[in-house]
Amino acid sequence: MQIQKARVMAGSARRLLHRNAKGHLANMLTKLRSQDVANILREMSDRDQIALFAILMREGLPLAAETLNHLEPELGTLLLQPLTSQEITEILQEMDSDDAAAFITALPEELADEVLDLMRGKQSKEVKGLLRYEEETAGRIMTPNVFALNEDVTISEAINAVQAGTDLEMVFYIYVVDDRNHLVGVVSLRQLLMVPPSTPLKKMMSTDILSVTTDTDQEEVARQVALYDLLAIPVVDRQNRLVGIITVDDVIDVIQEEATEDILHLAGVNTDDHVYTSRWQSYKKRIPWLAVNLFTLMVAAKVVAVYEGTIAALPFLAIFLPVVAGLGGNAGTQALTLTVRGLALGEISWSSGRSAVFKEALLGLGNGITIGLLAAVAGYLWIDYNWMLGLILGAAMIINLLVAGIIGSAIPLILTRLRIDPAVASSMLLTTITDAVGFFAILAMAFRFLEQ
């Protein structure tokens, strides 16, 4: 369903809800895919969302659980809040254990503990097992519900097993294990159709099998699945025992999540800040960053303070300070973003990075000369035809764009080398430097000019 269509459906749902036509509404919702119901929910106000979700609950837990599953955890937990911990538990029991684990992680700690205590049976064990792994690792996002057969099983037995499997909607590969559950091979469903039924799996399986371990970072998992065009990747423990599987649909979620993380970090936003995050939460998340930013800006402003006398003598310099600093910041951001993204996609590394810095330095110089000339002319025309001050403006621009190119491309490389996520810390560091360099370049030259 296209977004346009979701919007129309949300309109109908809203009208039915406000007319209190719950029967009609339930009738409409149960005919839709759960993803479409999720889209309708997203289009509604907070109050309507909760009312609609109550109707879904009455229609049966599976639909409510599936719908929830397609919502962002922030929005999902919002919908769970009016429910008792017993009701929440019942919904989560309907989900795959990896999805249930993700929701429990998003719940307030106390409620999460209650729900975990209330959970029963196989799923409770599975969820607790997953929660033992670190967040954002393969162990945390895998489903332990993996379809594996012993290497001595024959093709015809394997076909029977596939036919008997019920909650295995997404079987494309059959993983093959030995007697101690070590992952030894893989067979595709299609291969099953190609060989005589009495062949044991070990005779036809492929042993060149890619896997990740439970502690592999989810970003690395996604990179491997994307790189090798896989539909799923098996997860093993340190003894190479098969413990789970991560399917491509979950990998797509990870890729989108990691891209979002990089985009937000580059803008100095916390990853768990979100359009749905409550105002107070968002405030608490953004204010420390802004406070640090106030401090770094003050540091750069200190450069200006040193030259207060120069500004008093030539007050129009104040006009050009933000121009030089701003352009340096923006040109540096270009170099920075290209490098951060190149690193995230695995396109550049420490060694190939050095040539990237060299390229950005040259580019900064080239850009600086072009923009510097333009600025010099503009400055000359503006400040009463004083060619010397135009020249200072142009020269400051060249210096700042050169520095911006070098610093912008070098910061992410150095941070990666130091094992710091380059997206988090780069931009503020960059703009502090380009501000300070820009201010210093223009004011120091003007100071010399005044002296003579």
Shortest reach from residue 327's CB to its own copies, in Å: 6
Among 336, 376, 392, 396, binds its own copies (CB under 8 A): 336
CB-based burial, 256-276: b 16+ in 10 Å, e otherwise: ebbeebbebbbebbbbebbeb
Residue 177: enclosing H or E segment and its boundaries?
Answer: strand 173-177
Shortest reach from residue 363's CB to its own copies, in Å: 6
Q: Does the protein bind its own copies through residue 450 (CB under 8 A)?
A: no
Segment contacting its own copies by CB under 8 A, of 128-136, 138-146, 237-245, 258-266:
258-266
Alpha-helical runs (H) found in 200-269: 201-204, 218-227, 248-266
- In the stretch 382-411, what mask flags binding to its own copies with x, by CB under 8 A? x-----------------------------
Q: Does the protein bind its own copies through residue 246 (CB under 8 A)?
A: no
Shortest reach from residue 264's CB to its own copies, in Å: 6
Task: Considering the complex, state which of residue 112 and residue 364 has its C-beta at the smaller distance from its own copies.
Answer: 364
- Contacts with its own copies by CB under 8 A: the residue count is 115
Q: Residues near 96 by Cβ (< 8 Å), separated by ≥ 6?
A: 143, 145
Q: Residue 153 and residue 358: Cα distance in Å, rounded?
A: 58
Shortest reach from residue 290's CB to its own copies, in Å: 5
- In the stretch 145-184, what mask flags binding to its own copies with x, by CB under 8 A? --------------x--xx-------xx------------
Beta-bridge mates of residue 175: 148, 186
Whether the CB-CB separation of 218 and 253 falls below 8 Å is answered with: no
What stretches of 196-346 adopt beta strand conformation (E)?
Answer: 212-213, 232-236, 242-247
Task: Considering the complex, state which of residue 84 and residue 278 has its C-beta at the smaller distance from its own copies.
Answer: 278
Among 50, 131, 204, 231, binds its own copies (CB under 8 A): 231
Task: Considering the complex, state which of residue 89 and residue 97 has its C-beta at the smaller distance from its own copies.
Answer: 97
Tokens found for residue 94: 């309907």
Question: Please, which of residues 305-334 interact with its own copies by CB under 8 A?
Answer: 305, 308-309, 311-312, 315-323, 325-327, 330-331, 333-334
Residue 185: enclosing H or E segment and its boundaries?
Answer: strand 183-188
Q: Does the protein bind its own copies through residue 444 (CB under 8 A)?
A: no
Q: Residues near 380 by Cβ (< 8 Å), separated by ≥ 6?
A: 386, 387, 389, 390
Q: Does the protein bind its own copies through residue 47 (CB under 8 A)?
A: no
Q: What is the DSSP string of 119-145?
A: --HHHHHHHHHHHTSPTTBHHHHSBS-
Task: Considering the complex, state which of residue 10 and residue 112 has its C-beta at the smaller distance from its own copies.
Answer: 10
Q: Residue 139 and residue 154: Cα distance in Å, rounded?
A: 30
Q: Does the protein bind its own copies through residue 50 (CB under 8 A)?
A: no
Q: Does the protein bind its own copies through residue 2 (CB under 8 A)?
A: yes
Among 55, 148, 378, 429, binds its own copies (CB under 8 A): 378
